[in-house]
Chain A
């Protein structure tokens, strides 16, 4: 039996009277690469942010290895070290170099020694092809490079699952490829990933599971073959028809 990492049960989120997420249910198993697709404003990013507690869900449960992360007194910072996040806008620390970005979490949160942290940071920076730029500040590198560093920073915390919040949406078209290549590599190595994306080719070819969200509910979920090859719901068909050429 696969090892369940995250279990989301009856999750609701409302901003004021506006319901963004309605009764969301799904699980993330170890080794899953789940792509969440859907139109803008369908609640994909909010779902991801609720899982990482950057937003507080209105009701429902998020279980991490069976433990409810929404229970009072839950240690959110400790939980977040196991659930990494990569943002659309990179959010690299502007006051640090590329290397320091990948080390600060290990040093201050995981309390690793400097040598250990540097070795781990270099290992992951090499993996994303950013080892040459360790001395650069975030403002000196391109968007694609920033996102690769952000992935290395998240990996350096050795999380169990990585959440990607539209990692390529803020990138120029010619930089999307380098980031997706890195993500594909991670997926191959068995990293558990939850990816909110508009890159249909990535969702189709790399993920093991695709979730289509529409207006705050999970409309359809299944293997990429099911969703892209034989969608059951009319909304899914309509949505995918716009990407038929991909």
Chain B
């Protein structure tokens, strides 16, 4: 029955798609709508990349503020202000983590127009919605990342006189960033896929293009095959690039000696003439043993 409907439409449109095989239809769609798919994929990637980047910055800011330690010794005013901001951010995280992005898009896009007379372009709305959504997720990730850094690192930094801000900036956050990089990658991939919900506010991304193409010729299966392949290629490339970035951040597995090591000889060699440590219990034993041997 489905084939007969398709057939009827193809005839009405006046193309020869009806008589084509599956493969031919795919090629036909690519030839006919290729530029549209490319434009959709481009927008999808652009939204995902930019929104993930902005989301990370939002998340970093929120995560850092949420981990500011407040002790009883601090001024009352400071404690109240910090606690109030932390509570506000908590609400932000819970609201945007706890509602679907699709509804958020509709709510903000139409809400801004209706309540504040702000008419966003659909692309701006897309960046905005995905960014704050990612920010809410990243805030939790960053908080966890900061907590996962060994407290000894903070103590080490404090012991050489670093302030809280310096400790965060030079010691804790670089390590946090490395730790949460897999999660950032996860978010990027999720964002590439989830931008498809933005079609609800008519953002011209890949899924929106698919809907148009499939609807025009009733080639749902063929267009879905193309669209899925494009999504998969994008996510696989991103995953690969992120792995490479992770490796790069870890630095080399080996290192070059700047000069020759002179003290290393003492390691594990207590009876090394004149260089062993007198503070090791075993050194005396070894010395005696050698003495006995020599005496024999």
Contact = CB atoms under 8 A, between A and B. Distances in A.
Which one of B264, B270, B282 has the greatest number of beta carbons of chain A within 10 Å?
B264
Interface string B89-124: 000000000000000000000000000000000000
Which of B159, B175, B263 has its CB near the most chain A CB atoms (within 10 A)?
B159
Interface in B221-254: 251, 254
Contacts of A93: 153, 156-157, 170-171
Contact of B158 (A54, A142, A201): A54
6 contacts: A77-B162, A105-B162, A109-B162, A130-B263, A133-B257, A205-B279
Contacts of A92: 156
A137 interface: yes
A132 B257 contact: yes
A201 B284 CA distance: 12
Interface string B258-273: 1111111011101000
A92 to B, nearest CB: 7
Nearest to A157: B160
Given A93-B171, A137-B255, A177 B280 contact: yes
Nearest to A92: B156
A129 B261 contact: yes
Contacts of B160: 80-81, 84, 104-105, 109, 153-154, 157
Interface string A203-214: 001000000000
Contacts of B283: 177
Contacts of A56: 73
Contacts of A91: 150, 152-153, 155-156, 159
A137 B251 CA distance: 9
B82 to A, nearest CB: 18
A178 interface: yes
Contacts of A245: 281
Contact of B170 (A108, A202, A205): A108
Given A178-B263, A201-B278, A77 B161 contact: yes
B163 interface: yes
Contacts of A144: 267
A24 to B, nearest CB: 20
Interface stretch (A9-17, A28-36, A168-176, A222-230): A168-176
A132 B260 contact: yes
A5 interface: no
A245 B284 CA distance: 11
Nearest to A199: B279
Interface residues of B, number: 43
Given A77-B158, A140-B255, A180 B279 contact: yes
A18 to B, nearest CB: 19
Interface residues of A, number: 58
Given A91-B152, A176-B279, A177-B283, A132 B258 contact: yes
B178 interface: yes
B182 interface: no
Contacts of A137: 251, 255
B153 A105 contact: no
B174 interface: yes
B166 A178 contact: no
Interface in A102-116: 104-105, 108-110
Contacts of A95: 171, 174-175, 178
Contacts of B175: 94-95
A118 to B, nearest CB: 12
B161 A181 contact: no
A108 B162 contact: yes
Interface string B170-192: 11001100100000000000000
Nearest to A203: B279
A56 B162 CA distance: 17
A134 interface: yes
B159 A85 contact: yes
B277 interface: yes
Nearest to A53: B158
B18 interface: no
A187 to B, nearest CB: 12
Contacts of A54: 155, 158-159
A124 interface: no
A87 B152 contact: yes
A-B pairs, 7 with minimum CB distance: A177-B277, A129-B263, A91-B156, A81-B161, A105-B160, A85-B159, A91-B152
Contacts of A90: 152, 156
